Chain A
Amino acid sequence: MSITRRHMLLLLPTAAIAWKHVLAGTPEASPNYKMSEHWWGMLIDLPKCIGCGNCVRACQAENDVPDGYFRTWVERYHVTDYDIENPHVDSPDGGKKGFPPAKEEGGKNFFVPKLCNHCADSPCTQVCPVGATFISPEGVVLVDKKYCLGCRYCVQACPYGCRFIHPKTKTAEKCTLCYHRITKGLTTACCESCPTGARQLADLKNPNDPIHEFMKTHSVQVLKPYMATHSKVFYNGLDGSVR
């Protein structure tokens, strides 16, 4: 039997669907994990941060973040005595190799690790025209690489500068809060490798999570609260000069 044009037209879409399924593969399941039981966030205890850059390196190793791009990075603030409005901030290579001695003497100096704030009302997901970025049922802001067009709307929309376009795939990239780890009962790579415990993964839906006690007994703030993004990355001891 020879294939007529009619048959060919019928066969092509079928073959395309079949091939799509082959390419997709079968995702690995995490049997004991229930999305509805979690609401993830992070606690950053700034007085403990030593600016070692372990988190930045760990993130890169865990998530194949290309050189020169960051899903998390550390900033060093230098605030002079009389000018809280204009802090001097440096972050050489995202703080990946630590920080050189400060150029300026005196003033107030401290480190601020940054990452996606996994906002509950995230501006980045609101602007996506194709539904490629979304807030998962447990509050993690994720990117569907197969759906992303690389239009950069989300990169522009993020008030915290946490997104970038991957130089190879040309799709939007960001911190996934190590979604592949937290769904397996592990903590994120940055928290795992933080030597001082300055970063702690927090499950806000778990009543036994130490975050609740911590929030009750400390002055905790989020970045840019006036943006009303309902950020879930909480900073302890956040200085007013931090942008």
Chain B
Amino acid sequence: MNAFKDAGHLFRLAAVFLVGGLAFVGLRAFLVPKSFGEYGHYRGDAIAEIASRPVNYAGHQACEDCHADVLEKKKSGKHVHVNCEACHGPLANHVDDPGSVQPAKLDTAVLCVRCHEANIAKPKNFPQVASADNSTGLPCDTCHQPHSPAIIAGGTK
């Protein structure tokens, strides 16, 4: 056993490394979240947390489930592909509780020009008007019915 005669300091050093290594492994197991590395170099639970955020826009399917009459009206007009919440705003609250949460009344004088005010950068085939000339300040729904906006003979309903 002559080889180990003066090796006491090596064993002590090895013990220090061992304790250090165990402390590292132990602390790592304690500090790194369980789901870290589940899918990659990130916390797997973060995906479910991000997905759990509540929805504000209910989606047109939810609107159409109840408002079939409006859907029918839209079908005959140019706005058929415009989703309800594009104009009416986020209404998931209304879907959850249709009785007490009512959509706000819209101001067509503000709403329509967002899309239809003439602008040089808009596509040429998109219907645009200079609102000041077109309506002389009257709200658009004086003449146009928003769900089916073409003006038909005898006025709109």
Contact = CB atoms under 8 A, between A and B. Distances in A.
Interface of A: 13, 24, 27-30, 35, 47-54, 58, 61-63, 76-78, 98-99, 101-102, 105, 109-111, 131-137, 142, 144-147, 176, 179-181, 183-184, 186-187, 189, 192-197
Contacts of B41: 131, 134
8 contacts: A27-B52, A28-B51, A144-B50, A147-B46, A180-B51, A183-B51, A194-B86, A195-B83
Contact of A131 (B30, B36, B83, B85): B36
B56 A76 contact: no
B45 interface: yes
Interface in B54-110: 54-57, 59-60, 79, 81-83, 85-87, 89-90
Query: How many B residues are at the interface, by size bracket?
Result: 35 or more
Contacts of A47: 123
Q: Which 6 A-B pairs have the closest CB atoms?
A: A144-B46, A134-B42, A180-B53, A109-B121, A27-B48, A27-B52
B43 A147 contact: yes
Contacts of A194: 83, 86
A184 B55 CA distance: 9
A24 B53 CA distance: 13
Nearest to B128: A50
A186 B30 contact: no
Contact of A29 (B46, B48, B60, B79): B48
B119 interface: yes
B126 A179 contact: no
B10 interface: no
A134 B59 contact: no
Nearest to B46: A144
Contacts of B117: 98
A179 B36 CA distance: 20
Contact of B122 (A50, A63, A142): A50
Contacts of B79: 195
B59 A186 contact: yes
B29 interface: no
B45 A62 contact: no
B47 interface: yes
A9 B108 CA distance: 66
Contacts of A48: 123
B115 A142 contact: no
Nearest to B54: A180
B13 interface: no
Contacts of A193: 57, 83, 85-86
A30 B51 contact: yes
Contacts of A35: 47
Contact of A52 (B36, B81, B83, B115): B115
B120 interface: yes
Contacts of A195: 79, 82-83, 86-87, 115
A99 B121 contact: yes
Contacts of B56: 61-62, 189
B52 A147 contact: no
B4 interface: no
Interface in B101-141: 113-115, 117, 119-123, 126
